[in-house]
Structure 1
Amino acid sequence: MELILDALLDALIDGVKMLPFLYLAYLLIEWLERHHGERIENALAGGGQWGFLPGALLGCVPQCGFSAVASNLYASRVITPGTLLAVFIATSDEAIPLLAAEPSQWSSLVLLIVCKVIFAIAGGALLDMPLRRVLPRSLYGGYAGSADDVDCHEEHEEHSGIFLAALRHTLEIFAFILVFSFLIGLVFESVGEDVLVSALGSMGIFQPMLTALVGLIPNCAASVLLAQLYVQGAIGFGSLFAGLTAGAGVGLAVLWRVNPSWKQNVFITGLLWAVGAAAGMLLQLVL
């Protein structure tokens, strides 16, 4: 019982400390979504064959539904597969506000965003340029550059003011943080932090392959878990990057729902995992 109480108390203290920063981060996100969301979507849709460039840059903007928008645009043949891949790679879901809420992690956040943009541009360019010539149409997709009817938006209505919406989102993610921090702390206390870190570290350069699989889970809980593991020192930056590169938020779930070609969906999903794992292993060696 004492072990459980200690883990719960530590989770509460750590979570409460980041609440003000977390709220400010989500306040900014709500403002971006409501005042610049349509401009961002239009910039992505108008990128044409070079859409992976705005896709890589705009994918880093912390919007909860941007990857879903990209999936709808791809299924409607408005953007190329490379643009979709660039958006997915650049998306970090809830990790950006979480790392922004920890002042000690701001340098990691900047490095994460820079690396995301670089790998997103590289991945999108490779898919849309050399690979397009060798991939069968059934995998690449039928890019047309336009569509008569595109429903870009998931269920995201503005029922409340910006301050209340940011507070609601903050409390929702705070609940995730509290649960994961408690569970991680409980494991650390019962098994031993050194033992757990050593076990994960024993995977060596292959650790990012595992975190990239975790990242494929189409839920914000995956990015929250990865960010918490990184902040608490259980995984390295390369593994964090692998998981967040493979993680596209709800984008993958929307892709599987709106795009009728299961071959294309499997291809994009597998490619996303491969890029995440490979990039993470590279960063494990370099950093």
Structure 2
Amino acid sequence: METLFDILLDTAIDGVKMLPFLFGAYLLIEYMEHRAKNLHRALGGPFGAVGGALLGLVPQCGFSAAAANLYARGLITTGTLLAVFISTSDEAIPVLLANPGSLGLMGQLLLTKALLAVAVGLIADLFLRRGRRGEKPSAPAAHEEEHHHHHHGCGSCDAYRGRHPLLRAAAVHTLQIFAFVVGIMLALNLTIALIGTENLSRLLLQNSLWQPVLAAFIGAIPNCASSVLLTELYLSGSLTFGSVVAGLTTGAGLGLVVLFKQNHNKRQNALILAALLAIGIGAGIALQLLGY
């Protein structure tokens, strides 16, 4: 019982220390998302993949889902969609921002994912260019598309956006993710106490080229808990940098769910999912072989 109490106390203390940084991160994110305008214009054109990669880096709840909607309507290319999905990191960035000592690692992660997203997006468009189908949305439709946001498994952004001030929206989002972070931290601490660090390392295939494969499939789960789990495992030293890149490359939030729901070409959707997994696994293994 004493060990359990110590674990609960340590988890609570670590969580409370993180809370103000997490709120600050989401306050900044809410402000940035409110400033985002003309999404379909930013993602259009021959270099839409570059815009997609940059927009995907912003840790918010709408870009991957909005990009999937735009793709289903034929307004952006396959390369642009892949760039958004690859650069998206779901809730990983706020969790890293809540750990001030990991800011350097966050920069390395963002740079790696941005370069990978741009490269894959541009190459994909060279071979699989999916131009507009000739349909141009009306102004109201475009407006609706720009503001059609989904939150990846942690509640709806729409419930707070536009009708509540930034502070309240940031507070709600902070509390939602805080609950996930503390829950995952508690589960990890209990797991380590019960089975030991070495056994956990074996379960996570540490020092194995199979770890990025495992991480990529965990990341593909459309829920913010998967990105929080991957980030916490990385911060604890249980995952390599290559593995967390693999997992966060496939973690596109609810973008994949929206894609499968809105785009009726199921074969095309399956190929995009397979491409994401292949890219994530390939990048993760390559980085691991390079010693990252």
Q: TM-score, normalised by structure 1?
A: 0.91
Identity %: 47
Asked if structure 2 preserves the Cα contact closer than 8 Å seen for 1:87 and 1:120, the reply is yes
| More off after superposition, 252-261 vs 157-166 | 157-166
- Residue equivalent to 1:63: 60
Asked if structure 2 preserves the Cα contact closer than 8 Å seen for 1:27 and 1:166, the reply is yes
Name the CA distance, whole Å, in 2 between partners of 1:257 and 1:248.
15
1:76 aligns with 2:96: no
Calculate the aligned-residue CA RMSD, in Å.
Answer: 1.7
Q: How far apart are 1:59 and its partner, in Å?
A: 1.1
Asked if structure 2 preserves the Cα contact closer than 8 Å seen for 1:3 and 1:186, the reply is no
1:192-236 CA distance string (max 9 Å, x none): 113312443446112011110011111111111111111111111
- Gap change, CA 1:25 and 1:5, over 3 Å in 2: same
Amino acid at match of 2:64: S
Equivalent in 127, 133, 153 of residue 144 of structure 1: 133
1:15 aligns with 2:20: no
| More off after superposition, 197-206 vs 184-193 | 197-206
- Residue equivalent to 1:136: none
1:94-141 CA distance string (max 9 Å, x none): 101110111111111000000011100111112110x32xxxxxxx75
- Gap change, CA 1:251 and 1:145, over 3 Å in 2: farther
Which ranges in structure 2 are unaligned for 5 or more consecutive residues?
151-157
Asked if structure 1 preserves the Cα contact closer than 8 Å seen for 2:233 and 2:239, the reply is yes
1:218-267 CA distance string (max 9 Å, x none): 11111111111111111111111110000001111111111111111111
- Residue equivalent to 1:253: 257
Asked if structure 1 preserves the Cα contact closer than 8 Å seen for 2:83 and 2:117, the reply is yes
Name the CA distance, whole Å, in 1 between partners of 2:58 and 2:75.
20
- Residue equivalent to 1:122: 119
Equivalent in 112, 132, 154 of residue 149 of structure 2: 154
Which ranges in structure 1 are unaligned for 5 or more consecutive residues?
133-139
Amino acid at match of 1:190: L
Asked if structure 2 preserves the Cα contact closer than 8 Å seen for 1:141 and 1:264, the reply is no
- Gap change, CA 1:172 and 1:202, over 3 Å in 2: closer
Q: SS where residue 37 of structure 2 aligns?
A: helix
Asked if structure 1 preserves the Cα contact closer than 8 Å seen for 2:56 and 2:64, the reply is yes
Asked if structure 1 preserves the Cα contact closer than 8 Å seen for 2:76 and 2:130, the reply is no
Asked if structure 2 preserves the Cα contact closer than 8 Å seen for 1:208 and 1:240, the reply is yes
Name the CA distance, whole Å, in 1 between partners of 2:66 and 2:283.
25
- Residue equivalent to 2:196: 192
